[in-house]
Structure 1
């Protein structure tokens, strides 16, 4: 027995049981992927132009921005590596950024969910109407998001003199005795910014939801009634929403991007910078350092923080939408 044990060969390295299994699995997976790519080579050829443009103008700039966030770069001199100093300055020394971060998170927490639900609710209601009436209402609700005189309308509404519509109405009915400086008072500017964003929120997501509702297979509702679905809310949760998952995810990405990247409304309506930075956001802070001060390394750090926040929110939203209909 001892001789048999002594003569037993010792297996080591790649010959040991299970040692080569991960390598074989990777090779087999690579072979399957390559076979699938060869099978669909025509589709990849058609996708190649968009993929090249996407990589050139999106992926590569994001990677370069992340690399520049660790440097001191002013467009005139060569980037100089400074490590984590930009991020330390951002969260420890830059009080304005902390104000912008607070405003952005508050703004996104309010406008993101409300505008997302409003887009779906209006699309769901309009979807039940006759085609001609549905087309008219879709145009009416979508028009504010593409109108060019948005800021003029809201500037007239919240003008700081007695001729402003809000002041005129409140003074006429005796609610106030003198005009309110709506766009200069720190108590109101962020609220006005939120109202304007909500008014503009029925945009691309709204159209995507209408398209998704139009493409839901009607036979699924008949099958659902046989399986025990008895009311419209059950139809919505167990049939409509699961069938619209791609549109729901697309709408969520659009609304998250618009909620976190607000800047144009604040700049044109409330000034740049706004009074006491009351409506200052991360993007306006990025515009300040990127296009005015030309501190590109510091601006890249701001952009990286914003990208990380948006990516995290997108991942959480994707997990939540994956549970729809369960």
Structure 2
């Protein structure tokens, strides 16, 4: 009987503790109200509305007309550009998802070994590109398709190129260029979360590990560091998944919308094309719903893989 009553008592205790902490921090919750209002109006409501809208023909002028699964049938059967967008999105997801996640972790780990000044400096250096939109202007100058482009000028001076390469218009280079720029800009919130995770590890755990027989940094990494950073690693993984699946802004600003022969066209670009250029909001909502389903499945997979570190 004791085991049966212990569960509900624990739940009641957790509920009472949560309510007590909410009352103790009511000022913080009050300050969150403006953000939550805008978040619900401009994020939650549009996301909820997009699902039923995906089953309609809606041009933002006339009333939505119910078409059932017609948008989804067209999307997967008759839309060749969508299939190109799926392929490009998967390529982006592979390179700017797992690769960027591991890169963020390794850079954060290396920065954590530096002194206080260098930690702050290099954290800012790697995080700064994710904060500014002027970065596209810089990359357009570097990748300009004439001899005045910095990359072309250097390569031609070295004798590697005889004539300027069209880095942002030639289909041979477009996808690679956009992936490189996206990786350079990917050290955002996930990177900061991992940096914070390194800072919050109890140093006494390393001393205890040395007593227990841990001999080098690699053993420390896998036996102490990673298990101690479960929440931060999970948050960073979710952020990287969201970024990798919704990638499109970099290509749109760097190589245009649409890019040459849709070489850098992603699912997000496809949704933007139909939603903001053609105003076919029903079809665009169907595209967004497919993207949302793919992101949800990926997040479930990450939770399953990293969930053991949350105990």
TM-score bin (small chain): 0.7 to 0.9
- Alignment of structure 1 residues 97-116 onto 2, 5 Å: 97-116=82-101
Report which of the two structures shows the higher radius of gyration computed on alpha carbons. 1
C-alpha distance in 1 between matches for 2:257 and 2:244: 19
Q: How does 1:184-203 map to 2 (within 5 A)?
A: 184-203=169-188
Cα 1:54/1:173, change in 2 over 3 Å: closer
Partner of 1:220: 205
Other structure's SS at 1:155 match: helix
The one-character-per-residue Cα deviations of 1:97-144 (angstroms, maximum 9, x if unpaired) are 111111011111112112111111111111111112211121222222
Say if 1:33 and 1:75 are closer, same or farther in 2 by CA, change over 3 A.
farther
The alignment yields a C-alpha RMSD, in angstroms, of: 2.6
Deviation at 1:323, TM superposition (A): 4.9
Q: 2:73 aligns with which of 85, 88, 101?
A: 88
Question: Paired residue for 1:281, among 253, 263, 266?
Answer: 266
The answer on whether the counterparts of 1:209 and 1:248 sit within 8 Å (CA) in structure 2 is yes
Looking at structure 2, the residues matched to 314 and 222 of structure 1 have their Cα atoms a distance apart, in angstroms, of 35
Residue 322 (structure 1) aligns with: 307
From 111, 115, 119, the equivalent of 1:130 is 115
Is 1:237–1:325's contact at 8 Å kept on the other side of the alignment? no
Q: Does 1:307 align with 2:292?
A: yes
Aligned to 1:41: 19
What's the CA shift string for 1:22-52, capped at 9, x where partnerless?
Answer: xxx9xx9999867854663355574584766
User: Is the CA contact (8 Å cut-off) linking 1:115 and 1:201 kept in structure 2?
Assistant: yes
Alignment gaps of 5+ in structure 2: none
The change in CA–CA distance for 1:31 and 1:293 in structure 2 (over 3 A counts) is farther
Contact 1:157 1:164 in 2 (8 A): yes
**Residues 215 and 267 from structure 1, CA distance in 2 versus in 1: closer, same or farther, beyond 3 angstroms?**
same
CA distance in 1, matches of 2:257, 2:208: 56
Preserved CA contact (<8 Å) 2:230 2:310: no
SS in 1 for 2:168: coil
Per-residue CA distance 1:49-97 (angstroms, 9 max, x = gap): 4766655443333221111111111222222221111110001111111
Other structure's SS at 2:172 match: coil
8 Å Cα contact 2:190/2:235 also seen in 1: yes
Per mean C-alpha deviation after superposition, the further-off stretch among 49-58 and 221-230 is 49-58
Structure 1 regions of 5+ residues with no counterpart? 1-24
What CA deviation, in whole Å up to 9, does each residue of 1:175-221 have, x standing for no partner? 22211111110010010000001111122222111111010011111
- Is 1:237 aligned with 2:215? no
Superposed CA deviations along residues 159-179 of structure 1, whole A, max 9, x for unmatched, are 111111221122222222211
For 1:256-295, list aligned pairs within 5 A: 256-295=241-280
TM-score, length-scaled by structure 2? 0.88
Mapped to 1, the partners of 2:153 and 2:306 lie a distance apart of 45
**Distance in 2 separating the partners of 1:51 and 1:149:** 29
The change in CA–CA distance for 1:149 and 1:40 in structure 2 (over 3 A counts) is: closer
Distance in 2 between residues matched to 1:58 and 1:239, nearest whole Å: 38
Residues 221 and 235 in structure 1, CA contact (< 8 A), matched pair in contact too: yes
SS at 1:283's partner residue? helix
**Alpha-carbon distance in structure 1 between the residues aligned to 2:15 and 2:37:** 17
Q: Distance in 2 between matches of 1:29 and 1:85?
A: 49
Aligned to 2:281: 296
Alignment CA distance shift 1:223-1:315 (3 Å): same
CA distance in structure 2 between the partners assigned to 1:297 and 1:148 by the alignment:
30
